[in-house]
Structure 1
Amino acid sequence: MKLEAIDFLSENCEAEFVKSLHDTGFGVLKNHPIDQDLVETIYQQWQEFFNSDRKTEFTYNKDTQDGFFSSEVSETAKGHTQKDIKEYFHFYPWGQMPEELRENIELYYKNTTELAAQLLSWIEAHSPESVSEKYSIALSKMIENSQQTLLRILHYPPMQGDEPAGAIRAAAHEDINLITLLPAANEPGLQVKGRDGNWIDVPSDFGNLIINIGDMLQEASGGYFPSTTHRVINPTGEQVTKSRISLPLFLHPNPEVVLSERHTAKTYLMERLRELGVI
């Protein structure tokens, strides 16, 4: 399996994109409308933030999950024992935030959320009837005015050489939400697990936008769209001295949205957060 970037401006983009999501759980878009200068500015601003002591002024709120998570409290992926080698900041429009960084982050959040609604409408339009009839409401309506959609500003620090055995930047996992939007990071490392069990590098060309299916859409579609396992591997060679910034936007439905006979969005989220050990 090889992931190819699909031209957002091409005539067949919608169908090719949704087919990629069905086949692999991932889609990669080029020539998309997200401003790359804005992304690069955010990378630079947040690298400075993570390099400073100011981050400790915004320690996360355990009840609301907004703010800064240090490497000491970062996630342990489901089925793993070592914490990921990363630190991150959870941004919600209603949450705590360094004011000097707010303007660009709010603009990025707004633009990517609007694009996500468009992509969800594509997914619904190209779902087989037997799948679309499972959706309790339109997919794009599930996220409308949602207060749960999360922008995570991730920082993978340079490798020090004393990391615990078996620890990597992000251990193999699946996302919880409907879909995730991720501009290609400033360094490579993201891999997706193919159906044959082999790991495939996700194209990391700056300017690509990476979209993957989360558990909630897998649940809502009865498994038609797979929540594919992915990871971020440790760098080698000269890359070990470099940080990696990443900006995944996790699109979450409103809590009351019915995903399936088993779950609402809220019950599914709580179950997974307990598994991750963050609540």
Structure 2
Amino acid sequence: MSYEGKSLPFSEIPLVDFGRFLNGNDKDKVEIAEQIGSACRNVGFFYIKNHGISSDLISRVYEQARRFFSLPIEEKMLIYIGLTSLNRGYTPIYEEKLSLKGDLKEGFDCANELEENDVDRVERGAQLHGPNVWPKNLQGFKECVYDEYYLSVLKLAHRLLKSFALALNLPENYFESITQKPMGTLRLLYYPPQPPIIDPDQLGCGSHTDYECFTLLSQSNEKGLQVQNVLGEWIEAPPIDGTFVVNIGDMMARWTNGVFISTVHRVINTSGRERYSIPFFFGPDYFTKIECLKTCINEKNPPKYAPITAGDYLVSRFNDTYKYRQVEDTL
């Protein structure tokens, strides 16, 4: 099996039946892992179906997202993301700057629910560890978004990571010991309709690659996600009922020495209607050392990246992206 990344000029996003990995025999697991590995090496994106998360739960999370983003701005700003150093809470429109002028989207972030005095935060300086912040007047919001959905998609992420391990010629449980307290961030996103004349410097979500190991994305019924191939063409990744979109992030690209590719993508809400999406960004434990896996190194593909801890890497990327983390030059 070859492990050298190629990044082909794809014209569509592959679809994988993940149910065969979850419920099949060893042969099924290997075959699905090979399909996933091929998508990760050549495209960086794929869909999964039969993933085990019910459509009813997903529908209820979207309803909670609509409830939250319908709140008055004054109420949403009570949990503004800049009020904490943990990168959790409400992100107003233009706050995230993946587009030059700021993105045309609002967001709500939550992550692994930990105590304020979490030992890794207090004794080791894990900057992103701690409690979430929740809207005060939305009964059932936290219970649906975190207690049900977050924990369900986190379980799916752990299972998907097993398929990545097999695709990389590693033991199935290779990543288990370093994902005991993972950095998993769930986002509820709201995109207002994009103006008819599109400003390339102000998109719903500007051209970017994701930061963590991989993303599990639920899309509502409105298209908008576009993925760039090596020819510079933007390929639509429309919603497919009953699926998640999975894409490789920069952390996994570093970990695999570029064998798995982190592909540029963007969101333009051309539907003329409101668009919602729910990405889950999965990363390992905060102090995990991200250094090239031995199965991804050979004479033709020597190490490309210096080792770095996962938490330090993620903090550096947040600092580059969020307005509240950037100090204006007053000189």
Match of 1:26 in 2: 45
Aligned positions, number = 265
Q: Pick from 209, 221, 230: which aligns with 1:174?
A: 209
**TM-score when scaled to structure 2?**
0.74
Percent sequence identity is 28
- Equivalents in 2 of 1:160, 1:69: separation in Å? 21
1:208 to 212, 231, 243: 243
Residue 252 of structure 1 aligns to a residue whose secondary structure is strand
Deviation per CA, 1:124-147, whole angstroms, max 9, x where unpaired? 11214xxx59xxx9334332222x
Q: Using a 3 Å threshold, how does the CA distance of structure 1 residues 59 and 3 change in structure 2: closer, same or farther?
A: same
The equivalent of 1:189 in structure 2 is 224
| Aligned residue identity for 1:97 | W
TM-aligned CA deviation for residue 162 of structure 1: 8.7
- The equivalent residue for 2:174 is 138
Please tell me the root mean square deviation across aligned C-alpha atoms, in Å.
2.1
User: Is structure 2 residue 16 aligned with structure 1 residue 6?
Assistant: yes
Q: Given residue 3 of structure 1, which amino acid in structure 2 is its aligned partner?
A: I
**1:141/1:186 CA distance change after superposition, 3 Å:** farther
Residue 51 of structure 1 corresponds to which residue in structure 2?
A: 70
Q: What is the TM-score with the length of structure 1 in the denominator?
A: 0.87
Letter of the 1:185 counterpart: S
Instruction: Please state whether the residue corresponding to 1:248 is helix, strand or coil.
Output: strand
Gaps of at least 5 residues in structure 1 are none
Residue identity opposite 2:283 in structure 1: H
Report the CA distance between 1:30 and its aligned residue.
1.4
Displacement of 1:103: 1.2
Distance 2:264 2:200 in 1: 21
In 2, the alpha carbon distance for the partners of 1:159 and 1:197 equals: 22
AA matched with 2:235: I
For each residue in 1:33-85, what CA deviation from the matched residue of structure 2 results, as whole angstroms up to 9, or x when unmatched? 11111111111221122012142332223411111111142x112xx522110
State the one-letter code of the partner of 2:179.
I
Cα separation, 1, equivalents of 2:43 and 2:197: 35
**1:163 & 1:34 partners in 2: Cα distance?**
35
- Alpha-carbon distance in structure 1 between the residues aligned to 2:144 and 2:32: 28
SS in 1 for 2:203: coil
The correspondence for 1:84, drawn from 98, 103, 113, is: 103
Per the TM alignment, residue 165 of structure 1 is displaced from its structure 2 partner at its CA by: 6.0
CA contact (8 A) 2:55 2:242 kept: yes
The separation in 2 between residues aligned to 1:160 and 1:200, in whole angstroms, is 21
Alpha-carbon distance in 2 for matches of 1:109, 1:56: 23
Name the CA shift for 1:68/1:4 in 2 (closer, same or farther; >3 Å).
Answer: same
Q: Which runs of 5+ in 2 are unaligned?
A: 1-9, 21-27, 114-130, 292-305, 326-331
1:256 is aligned to 2:266 = no
Q: Is the 8 A contact 1:4 1:203 kept in 2?
A: no
> Where does 1:35-114 land on structure 2 (aligned, <5 Å)?
35-53=54-72, 54-60=75-81, 61-73=83-95, 75-77=96-98, 80-92=99-111, 93=113, 94-98=131-135, 99-106=139-146, 107-114=148-155
Aligned residue for 2:235, secondary structure, equals: strand
Contact 1:58 1:96 in 2 (8 A): yes
Q: Is the 8 A contact 1:82 1:164 kept in 2?
A: no
More relative contact order, 1 or 2 (CA 8 Å, 6+ apart): 1
Give the match's secondary structure for 2:247. Answer: strand
